[in-house]
A and B are shown apart, each in its own frame.
Chain A
Amino acid sequence: MTTSASLDRTEAEAKAKDGAPDRPAGPPSSPVLDVHDVTVAYHRKPVLWDVDLTIDRPCLAGIVGPNGAGKSTLIKAILGLVPKASGSVRVFGKPVGAQRRLIGYVPQRESVDWDFPVTVLDVVLMGTYGRLGWFRRPGRAERSWSMECLERVGMAHLADRQIGQLSGGQQQRTFLARALAQRAEVYFMDEPMAGVDAATEAAIFALLRDLKTSGKTVFVVHHDLRTVPEYFDYTILLNMRLIAHGPTATTFSPENLRKAYGGRLAILEAAGEAVRARERSE
């Protein structure tokens, strides 16, 4: 992709705001995400075994599994943030390294220092850095785009706050705005709904649905089994190995959950409740 072409595209996007689909490079038929045989080990102890996963169409996917199942690790391995012992990952048919502009990332909220001396707007601007590339500084266009993203998460009035003064929910919204500022096609979000209030969770879910409606794919590490059927149309069940993946309607079954969670009764109960809730709603 040449620089001028990408520049043109950025401008076109700025005009069309967020509605215009940013069609990714690569053959049109290539799957959104293709994870092939990925194994990850920390200090020789494998945490993720042989994960094979192909997502053909845009979807809103929940990554679900017990603690220590390797959910965050899967995301980090896909993004190349942790070394893979084996395997490969392709996004729209190309290696991740070549597609970084199409990928948005929301790390866990606890992974950064919220005493860091930056404002909310500064953090959202960081979402534009990937497209700017090395050395180029964000300008007026990036600023107004970042403000727009802040508006979408209802945080524009806090743009000048230092990030340490935000509540947990506001911090999470800031991260989401930053992800929006990345103008990605595929988003990976690590527990965006952990430790937020009900209002923020609803707002985040609404945003996820918007993203899906505009043709983006979103992968979300999610803890609350009860809301999985409501939130996600696709489910990836993980417990060091890939237990199951597919449309939530067929994948999120008591049998698969038992495979993923083993005999942990409390969780199974919660899951059973969720499954029943889904059946009632159908």
Chain B
Amino acid sequence: MKLRRRSSIDDEDSAINVSPLIDVVFILLIFFIVSATFISLPGVDVSRPKVQNASSLQKNSVLFALSEKSEIFHSGEIVELSEVSPLIRLAIKDKDKPVVIQVDKWADATVLTKLVLEAKKVARSVSLATLKNR
């Protein structure tokens, strides 16, 4: 009561009602908190192979990349083949995440095969990321 009277005197009632703004911002905040999954990207650009029946893969997955020089990347670092299954086990914990391998089309297929076999020891499913067929 007192406040309103003072503000109307001071600056001609220029205070905006911020409650709807706060409501909207809170809703946005909660949406982004819930949808945040914190995926660690492999951190290397690969030229993906082009295929015909690519389907959408699960979003919340453990990502690996196989570069053109057949190096395995995980969360921005080069890893050895032997480190792959401990890393996957650490990443999936008990959440049953699938593994997605971003494979460069000029990488060595034997390395890819070994990587897939290694990943399949611990992961439920292993997929290869490809280009969108469009």
A binds B: no
Give residues in A with beta carbon < 8 Å to B. none
Give residues in B with beta carbon < 8 Å to A. none
